[in-house]
Structure 1
Amino acid sequence: MIRDYKQGRFVPQTFSYESLMKKRVKKHPSYLQPIYEAVSNSLEATSGKGDYVTIRLKVSKSSTPGKYEFCSIEVEDSGCGFNEENLSRFYQLFDESKNFHNLGSGRIQFLHFFEHTEFRTVYIENGKKKKRNIVLSIGFIGTEKTPIWEGFEQDATEEEHTGTIVEFFFPRDSKDKESYENLTTDELHDKIFTHYLGKFCIRKGNVQNIAFERYIYDAHVDTEDKFIQDDDIPVVDYHDEVKVHYKRINSTNDGLIKQKETETFKIDSYLLPSSVQKRNEIKLTSKDETVDAENVDFSFVSRAKIEEGKNMLCLISSDFLTNQDTDLRGKLTLYTKSQFLKEKNLFTLDESHIFIDDVQEEVTEKITTHYPAINKIKEESEEDIDQVVEDFSLDKDVIAAIGVKTGEKVSDFLERYYHSDADFQKDNTQRLKAVFDSLRTLDPSGANFNRKFNAKVKEINSLIPVKNKSSLSRYIASRKSAMNMLRLILSKNLECQLEKKKRKSNEKLIHDLLFKQGTIDTLESNLWMLNEDFIHFKGFSNFELRKLNDDGVGVLRKLDDKEKEQLTAYNKDMLGYKPDILLFPEEHKCIIIELKSDTADPTHYLGQAINYAGLLREFAKDEYVIDNFYVYLIAESFDFTSVVRTDPRFQLSQYMDYVFMPNANVYGGARGYGALYMEVLKYSTLLKRAEMRNSIFSDKIFGDDFDKEGEKED
């Protein structure tokens, strides 16, 4: 774009555009916003049928085949043009003479998105046809202290018709530039059609002819032309309205009271071809244009199938919504009840307010009543959330505070729940701390100590959320069940052990019970039966050595040809060995657990885990070198003395329930020897230890005589 700026003047401004762009009218998140702004201006400048608005996408071919370089985007209309009245309004930002909600701040988006925006306008002034050019550029501010240049007014020819062309050059952001280069007339047609559908429907019978054209090197590619005409505007499939009551805060500042005053919200639903309307949507509108609003989520309707080949677009309009529009056109300021109660400074407390969640609830009730398919999705969502509340014993007080949004996804509900629950927990934690701190006032030697102490315990218990108590009991029940499962496996009383055709091996059953094969989540395992700490370590259950990785990074180092030959000699594949369980408690340490059948002789496997340890020490990367190994070999039907007889390095424990090797060398090749500690024990011993550790809790829940009664029944 070449222009002689001497043939015009720079228009002084009384405020700083740079400050305005940083602090008040920030860049809109949608790259289409400047186009929307220009089209909105064109629709407002034209009367309707007989007028036109044309959007042109202009590109040139790039050196990359199939790729195009952005040239400009042009919006032309047949409106009245920039006469003196309109020009004056253009120069005076936030001028309310047009109407209260058209303050002209849309031009700030032009500055945010493009280096240069040019206006070429033809208009009638005092009965004569005139024309002028205007350029808007952020680059002018540095030298001219204004972003606006105005060309001198000239006489227009009879052939030139009134109207305005707005053309955008040089996108300021590379991502926006790429989006404009990839924009098609098809896509832009669909976006404009749905964005202004409310406006089009209101004007049906008097809609401007709207065209979308694409140019390559100024050559019109007419095969890509798209149009919006009056015949394209659909009829309303469903119309209704709801009245939403204003609410104000109560006298205790912790709740809301419904007022008599209401606002009316109109519902207009359209069924559009799925090629245009990609999914079911409910959108808010302001000034008959669809807008974005925080805290509004109707996404559940997208999952419904209303009619084959069509999707619903439901538009919600209200004077209230238009009044909430901001300087950032199309971004509404709306608040939920929970926001109001949490951040009361956002509002004037003595005023009444409309809350968007009330609007959402009332609209959803109407929509789900009219469309059974949407109602079905709503009910399924409610059932899913009810199930989650039950499964996870969620706190009813927290749920009452945050509410359940209609059709809300479980993931979104849980995110809101845990965010709010954190606040509840914080408050409870402070109160619990105060009670615990008050224990210092008690005297254990005092006559009433037990009564006062028990009163403190009762108070502490009342502050523990029900869900925490339920979680604890469920956790203990899970442990009790796991121990009973191990007992049943060892006694061969599981049904899967008794079926001849599908009989499962005891070794596999025990392995999967303790730590599911092929998994790495130790927190979900039952390794606490062996040692409480084991569930907190990084772990691998039945993984090949070569497939061990730390957050996607392989543990073993790169091997040379000689090492590869050594590891595959005699038809072996040593790095394909699968230790039953590997745990890594901290740097340079490793726990190896080998689980054998309850009928296996562990003396045949004493060297197996030591071999695994040697491979890990010799072939791990430098940052994963292991110096100390702790090995547990577990079986059932054997004699401890046979283990000691096979390898005299083993010693009998003091309680005769396991044997251990206090220290042995682990071969590490060029790295030298590592150290190894090893135990051989029985599953029955493991089970007994686990029961002793957990009995203090399980007895409180199930009763001291629970296991005795079970034994009597057996």
Structure 2
Amino acid sequence: MKFENESYITGEGIYYKGVLRDIKRSKISFQPIYEAFTNSLEAVKIKSKTKTDFKGEIRIRIYSTQNTDESLSFSRLEIEDNGIGFNDEEFNRFVTYKDFTKGFKNLGSGRIQYVHNFDNTKFISKYQSNGDFREREFVVSKDDKFLAKNSITFHKKDKLIFKGESTGTRLIFEGLLDKTKASYHSLNDKILKDHLLKRYVQYFCLNKESLPTIKIEHFIYGEKLSTSYITIKDIPKIDKTTNIDVEYSKLSDDGKNVINVDKSETFTINAYKLNKSFLKENQIKLTSKDEVIENFDIDLQLLTKDEIIDDSHFLFLISSDYLDEKDKNERGEIDIPNYHEFSSNSNVFYEEEIILDLVENQINGAVYELYPEIEKINKVKQLEFEKLKQMFLLSDLEDLNISPNDSDKKILEKFYTAEAKKQAELDANLKHSIDRLNILDTTAEDYSDSLEKEIENIVRVIPLQNKKELTHYVARRKLVLELFALILDRKLSVQNDGSRNKDEALLHNLIFQQSNDSSDKSDLWIINEDFIYFQGISESKLSDLEIDGEKLLRDDLTKEEEEFIRSLGEDRYAKRPDILLFPEEQKCIIIEFKNPSVSVSDHLNQINNYATLLKNFTTSQFNLTTFYGYLIGEKINALDVRTYDADFKDAYNFDYLYRPAKTIANLFNSNQAEGSLYTEVLKYSTLLERAKMRNKTFIEKITNNKQDQV
């Protein structure tokens, strides 16, 4: 077929405005470049079959301009090859929409990506016909003047040229339609080389011995800035290869199940073990026509994306005739339904399909067999998951699809999502049973049996609901205790960074955040379960203390009282007890923390002093008379404590001392009764053991399991 010069080429039965609407612009920025590069590879390969001494060449030129801020702007891009050229046969295929007779499994829709991305794409092609050499020039565009003719191709000329000329094609992309595409403005030879290597790694490996010379140049204002080549040295070798057969699936006759049928497709897995500097993460990628499909990922179930083995990452490229045939018009857009999509589609009762879930599972199984060393990594990940389950008391849930690529956060999100669904079902069952109470008839013969049945349903559901809440409650406490142990063992990074010792502050803030008055949100339960229910304050000046908006200490001091407060150069109202709690009228709990490295015996009087101040200087509204003191540290020797104060006694259980009573003096008003102070001196490690024992009991109830450690 001959084509007239200076003419628009229209297609019979094609309305190009509709075609452009239906075939969207690819989400892959460089898709037009890939289309053109693939055509050049094919043109060179066709020519190599007819000329034994032929050496293919592909040259890519990137042209940029420089802005006033020294940034670059894309100008144009050229791809030139010395392939077969656009003879009449090849050109006829090009202009025939969806012509896939080329033999390379092409869809004939690549030029649609040209017009979606560039104002015009120009071709200057030299070819041989009947012994003569000719040159053809044409342009593709979706400009209005083209579409007005129901065309996207303008055939400019086809003329005879001197004999002896080489064949080949030069393609020129000009006029970037989306000028905001930063990927084009920042494009240079090195970046494009990297993209081509990753996109065509499969093709390059399979055709390594016959690969054309590939040269990429970057120009600024016409001056060559840099050059890159793709050579055999850049192309990795296939490390291992294997085939898998994946069966087709269909819905059962009743539409309730997905079943396999006696029909399958063969998929080839080519495995590459590449240096981590080249391949940034482990991947499984589908390929179509030996090109990597960028927008379709297969989950690598046995290996995290960032796992490194022998200083390398793994790339698994999957190819199949089935994938080539599934490739859409947008090139690289593959549609393979997953199990849920297939089973929920009412129109697939009689259709047979390859299901993505089966493909994914069989690929991962094959990968596992190819590289047994991955098994070791997988076992480590499983141990980490089991540790996470134990830490948060996660129950075993069916269909909880955990991948090695999932972070701890992602695993917990999946678990709590599944738990929420389970909780919703429990709530619905509970509501259903309660609603059914309305229809019970107390006069009916089966009333007792019906009532008993509904009671059993409710009794069965409520414990499950309570167990979930209790699990979260206990799991949080378990984490707090683990953090407590880490602080005592000085294993936090902040304790080993060379800065001043913060152990006391870390322990204080763990139990009750400093400068805080929300005891209900604290972890005072470590000391005593009841303490979280009392009003309290952590690390606050005595002069600033308020309870229910009322000042705790008096301002109307006598001269004698004022002198005492200021005596010995002190300001006793400015003192800051670590924690004060007020369980009920006239009672106060005083808690003092000491750095684990400090001898507690040196501070036995501190709580006495605080109790004395509170006894003598609180307002009449509070009138504190009964005090409970807890002096907590780690450096404690029972004999040393009793040397300082013989009223302290050893407790029968755990490692702590207590003093049943200490008189708190009434300093300024002899008419008032004196106060009383109960005191315990105990170690942080003792607190930890006490709390562990309490939490252990809860965990055993939840897990129905005896645990040696909590």
- What is the TM-score of this pair, normalised by structure 1? 0.65
8 Å contact 2:123–2:171 — kept in the other structure?
yes
Give the Å deviation of 1:446.
9.1
Give the Å deviation of 1:164.
1.6
Give the Å deviation of 1:131.
2.2
Per-residue displacement from partner, 1:102-130 (whole Å, max 9, x unpaired)? Answer: 22222222223222222222223444322
3-state SS of 1:303 partner: coil
Per-residue displacement from partner, 1:157-198 (whole Å, max 9, x unpaired)? Answer: 44653222221122222442x322322322222221232122
Unmatched 5+ stretches in structure 1: 1-5, 489-493, 497-502, 535-539, 544-576, 584-588, 595-600, 610-631, 659-681, 685-696, 705-714
Q: CA 1:155–1:100 in 2, change beyond 3 Å: closer, same or farther?
A: closer
1:472 aligns with 2:484: no
1:303 aligns with 2:303: no
Rounded to whole Å, the distance in 1 between the matches of 2:478 and 2:304 is 42
Give the Å deviation of 1:464.
6.9
2:375 aligned partner: 375
Rounded to whole Å, the distance in 2 between the matches of 1:326 and 1:593 is 77
Rounded to whole Å, the distance in 1 between the matches of 2:440 and 2:611 is 53
Choose the corresponding residue for 2:60, options 50, 55, 58: 55
1:64 aligned partner: 69
1:33 aligns with 2:31: yes
Rounded to whole Å, the distance in 2 between the matches of 1:202 and 1:144 is 43
3-state SS of 1:123 partner: strand
1:615 aligned partner: none
Choose the corresponding residue for 2:315, options 310, 313, 316: 313
1:193 aligned partner: 197
Give the Å deviation of 1:291.
0.9
3-state SS of 1:348 partner: coil
Rounded to whole Å, the distance in 1 between the matches of 2:250 and 2:519 is 49
Per-residue displacement from partner, 1:81-113 (whole Å, max 9, x unpaired)? Answer: 222233233223222333594222222222232
**What is the one-letter code of the residue matched to 1:219?**
E
Give the Å deviation of 1:702.
9.9
8 Å contact 2:17–2:147 — kept in the other structure?
no
Per-residue displacement from partner, 1:516-562 (whole Å, max 9, x unpaired)? Answer: 7899999786699677899xxxxx9989xxxxxxxxxxxxxxxxxxx
2:250 aligned partner: 248
3-state SS of 1:401 partner: coil
1:690 aligned partner: none
Choose the corresponding residue for 2:7, options 9, 14, 34: 9
Rounded to whole Å, the distance in 2 between the matches of 1:521 and 1:145 is 77
1:288 aligned partner: 290
1:133 aligns with 2:137: yes
**What is the one-letter code of the residue matched to 1:304?**
E
Choose the corresponding residue for 1:212, options 216, 240, 244: 216
8 Å contact 1:381–1:410 — kept in the other structure?
no
Which structure 2 residues correspond to residues 77-96 of structure 1 after superposition, within 5 A? 77-96=81-100
Rounded to whole Å, the distance in 1 between the matches of 2:615 and 2:427 is 53
8 Å contact 2:98–2:108 — kept in the other structure?
yes
Q: CA 1:439–1:272 in 2, change beyond 3 Å: closer, same or farther?
A: same
1:433 aligns with 2:406: no
Which structure 2 residues correspond to residues 515-530 of structure 1 after superposition, within 5 A? 515=513
Give the Å deviation of 1:606.
8.0
RMSD over aligned CA atoms reads 5.3
**What is the one-letter code of the residue matched to 2:511?**
L
Rounded to whole Å, the distance in 2 between the matches of 1:521 and 1:219 is 72
Rounded to whole Å, the distance in 2 between the matches of 1:519 and 1:226 is 66
Rounded to whole Å, the distance in 2 between the matches of 1:266 and 1:521 is 63
Which structure 2 residues correspond to residues 463-502 of structure 1 after superposition, within 5 A? 469-475=466-472, 477=474
**What is the one-letter code of the residue matched to 1:187?**
I
1:226 aligned partner: 228
Q: CA 1:373–1:701 in 2, change beyond 3 Å: closer, same or farther?
A: closer
Give the Å deviation of 1:358.
2.5
Q: CA 1:112–1:504 in 2, change beyond 3 Å: closer, same or farther?
A: closer
Give the Å deviation of 1:591.
12
1:709 aligned partner: none
**What is the one-letter code of the residue matched to 2:362?**
E
Rounded to whole Å, the distance in 2 between the matches of 1:95 and 1:702 is 68
1:344 aligned partner: 345
1:164 aligns with 2:161: no
Rounded to whole Å, the distance in 1 between the matches of 2:285 and 2:143 is 37
8 Å contact 1:185–1:226 — kept in the other structure?
yes
3-state SS of 2:74 partner: strand
3-state SS of 2:286 partner: strand
Q: CA 1:216–1:505 in 2, change beyond 3 Å: closer, same or farther?
A: closer
Q: CA 1:401–1:118 in 2, change beyond 3 Å: closer, same or farther?
A: same
1:269 aligned partner: 271
Q: CA 1:518–1:209 in 2, change beyond 3 Å: closer, same or farther?
A: farther
Give the Å deviation of 1:298.
2.3
Unmatched 5+ stretches in structure 2: 49-53, 491-500, 554-564, 566-570, 577-586, 592-606, 629-676, 680-693, 702-710
Choose the corresponding residue for 1:43, options 27, 36, 41: 41
Which structure 2 residues correspond to residues 354-373 of structure 1 after superposition, within 5 A? 354-373=354-373
Per-residue displacement from partner, 1:10-33 (whole Å, max 9, x unpaired)? Answer: 3335545454444x3222222221
**What is the one-letter code of the residue matched to 2:152?**
P
Give the Å deviation of 1:288.
1.1
Rounded to whole Å, the distance in 2 between the matches of 1:444 and 1:656 is 57
Q: CA 1:384–1:325 in 2, change beyond 3 Å: closer, same or farther?
A: farther
Give the Å deviation of 1:38.
0.8
8 Å contact 1:198–1:290 — kept in the other structure?
yes
3-state SS of 1:153 partner: strand
Per-residue displacement from partner, 1:484-517 (whole Å, max 9, x unpaired)? Answer: 99xx9xxxxx999xxxxxx999998565324478
8 Å contact 1:593–1:633 — kept in the other structure?
no
3-state SS of 2:238 partner: coil
3-state SS of 1:246 partner: strand
Q: CA 1:532–1:479 in 2, change beyond 3 Å: closer, same or farther?
A: farther
Choose the corresponding residue for 2:117, options 113, 127, 133: 113
Paired positions, count: 569
1:650 aligns with 2:648: no
8 Å contact 1:516–1:525 — kept in the other structure?
no
**What is the one-letter code of the residue matched to 1:291?**
I
Rounded to whole Å, the distance in 2 between the matches of 1:683 and 1:461 is 44
Rounded to whole Å, the distance in 2 between the matches of 1:259 and 1:234 is 38
Q: Which has the larger radius of gyration?
A: 2
Rounded to whole Å, the distance in 2 between the matches of 1:683 and 1:108 is 87
1:675 aligned partner: none
